[in-house]
């Protein structure tokens, strides 16, 4: 029998679908979805890391909602802050660093109908990898000075490698005023060459890392945009899956 925590989540999913027809829909049957979730972790030395506050909830909700709608789901995830039961039924590939996530993406991407890049990849890492020994606190800044490098943009890599017909959803965690945020999100959509970009303002209530809810703006490659008010991440996951499904080629 499934874990009670997963059963509870499945009940919430069914209730959110509303009508009996929507509750029973399997519109992702015969489809496959690759999801990334959670943070990546870049080791600086045996004790210290570079990472972020992502819990992985948004990616896991996408994975489970797609599975309940009939999809074959593969999920690459960093360290999660969620019940283990929420991962039941999903083919999981745990990683830590951005390099490990990229390797898994290269391996899994070719056979997928769609990819949802919900992971929050760390921005910086130490050039050459982690130090073998832990520097003293007083020496850390000088030891690391000039040794940090940007982590490659995994979303751009997905866009460059994707096969014909594959649909790509990216996420952008941003902060600031709405006008500025949207302008930056539009630039990211073009630069990263994805079909959809969900921009969520992490400095607003109920929309940041670790929250049970999320909201923001969905930007489409065709130039249209919609604002999604803060809502349960499982509900948002289903709305995003609706958008992706409309772009998938007919079976």
Active site residues: 52
* φ/ψ (deg, to 5) at 244: -60, -45
CA angle 51, 57, 59 (to 5 degrees): 90
Alpha-carbon span 61 to 42, nearest angstrom: 25
Which residues lie across from 174 on neighbouring strands?
Answer: 201
* φ/ψ (deg, to 5) at 142: -70, -35
Alpha-carbon span 173 to 177, nearest angstrom: 13
**Cα torsion through 72, 238, 171, 228, rounded to 10:** 170
Beta strands in the chain (DSSP E): 32-37, 42-43, 49-50, 72-77, 91-94, 114-117, 124-126, 148-150, 167-174, 196-201, 213-220, 225-232
Alpha-carbon span 6 to 8, nearest angstrom: 5
Sheet holding 91-94, edge to edge: 91-94, 72-77, 32-37, 114-117, 167-174, 196-201, 213-220, 225-232
> What SS3 state is found at 35?
strand
């Amino acid at each position: 029998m499934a874990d009670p925590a997963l059963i509870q989540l499945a009940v919430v999913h069914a209730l959110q679908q509303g009508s009996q027809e929507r509750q029973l829909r399997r519109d992702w049957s015969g489809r496959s979805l690759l999801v990334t979730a959670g943070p990546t972790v870049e080791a600086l030395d045996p004790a210290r890391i570079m990472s972020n506050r992502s819990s992985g909830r948004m990616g896991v909700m996408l994975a489970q909602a797609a599975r309940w709608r009939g999809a074959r789901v593969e999920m690459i995830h960093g360290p999660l802050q969620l019940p283990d039961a929420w991962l039941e039924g999903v083919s999981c590939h745990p990683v830590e660093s951005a390099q490990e996530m990229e390797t898994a993406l290269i391996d899994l991407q070719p056979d997928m109908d769609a990819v949802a890049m919900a992971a929050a990849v760390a921005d910086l890492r130490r050039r050459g990898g982690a130090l073998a020994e832990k520097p003293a606190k007083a020496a850390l800044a000088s030891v690391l000075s000039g040794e940090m490098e940007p982590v490659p943009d995994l979303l751009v890599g997905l866009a460059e490698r994707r096969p014909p017909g594959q649909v790509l959803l990216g996420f952008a965690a941003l902060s600031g005023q709405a006008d500025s945020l949207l302008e930056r999100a539009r630039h990211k959509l073009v630069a990263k060459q994805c079909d959809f970009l969900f921009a969520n303002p992490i400095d607003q209530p109920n929309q940041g890392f670790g929250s049970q809810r999320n909201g923001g703006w969905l930007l489409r490659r065709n130039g249209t945009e919609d604002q999604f008010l803060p809502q349960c991440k499982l509900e948002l996951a289903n709305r995003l899956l609706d958008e992706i499904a409309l772009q998938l080629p007919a079976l």
